[in-house]
Amino acid sequence: MSRTIKILLVKLGLDVHNRGIITVAKILSNAGLEVIYLGNAFPKEIINVAIQEDVDIVGLSSLAGAHITLGREVIREAIKNQVKDKMKFVIGGVFPPTDAKTLINYGFDKVFLTDITSSELVNNIKQLI
């Protein structure tokens, strides 16, 4: 029997739009994952909580432009704390497809744009572990 996947979900920085991340939290929770929703948070805090809670995955949501600047910082912070290889990092929201490639280059394991179904989301997340 596979163990329960633990995921930390975060609204990145000062972004005001939380409908998407709440929906994702509900979907993943219904799919049997253990979900911790942190609300709005910044790179240092995100990695600290991820370490404290010993999560498998960190999921970030960004809809207002800070996916590059703050997304990059989260990965840097993870590397600095030597947890980049111990956890998976995913990010989703509203941004150009070219930025999705940039985010993968920074080290995100998966990038989600808005055109994804709930089963695709759940499968993609489960396959990471």
Partner 1 sequence: MEKTTKQSVLDGIANDLSHQYKTPKTILGSDTPRDLIYTPANPDSDYLRLIGSPGEPPYTRGIYPNMYRGKNFTTRQLSGLGSPEQTNERMRYLLDKGATGVSVLFDLPTIQMYDSDDPYSQGQVGMSGACVDSVEDMKVLFKNIPLDETSISIVTHYPTNTAILFPMFLVMAEEQGIPWSKLTGSVQNDVTMEELVRSGLEYISPKDCFRLQCDNISFINDNLSRWNSITLNGYNLRDFGTDIITESTIAICNGIETLTEMIRRGYTVDEIAPRMSFFFSIANDFFEEVARLRAVRRLWYRIMKHCFKATNPKAMLMRCHTQTSGITLTQKEPFNNIVRSSYQALAAVLGGTSSLHIDSFDEAYSIPTEEASLLSLRTQQILQTETAITDVVDPIGGSYYVEELTDQIEMKILTEVDDIEKAGGYIKSLYTNKLYDKISTYFTQQQIDIYNGKIKIVGKNIYTSDEEPEPIDVFKYDENVEREQCKKLEKLRQTRNNDDVEISLEALAHACKKPNRNILPYSLECAKARCTEGEIYKVIKQAMGLWKPPSFL
- Look at residue 45 and give its three-state secondary structure: helix
Determine contact, residues 51/82, Cβ cutoff 8 Å.
no
**Looking at 13-109, which runs of residues are DSSP E strands?**
34-41, 57-62, 88-93
Q: How many residues bind partner 1 (CB under 8 A)?
A: 35
How far apart are the C-alpha atoms of 118 and 124, rounded to whole Å?
10
Choice from 6, 18, 81, 129 touching partner 1 (CB under 8 A): 18
Range 52-71, binding partner 1 (CB under 8 A): 64-66, 68-70
Choice from 31, 83, 94, 129 touching partner 1 (CB under 8 A): 94
- Residues within the interface to partner 1 (CB under 8 A): 11, 13-19, 22-23, 25-27, 37, 39-40, 42, 64-66, 68-70, 73, 94-98, 113-115, 117-119
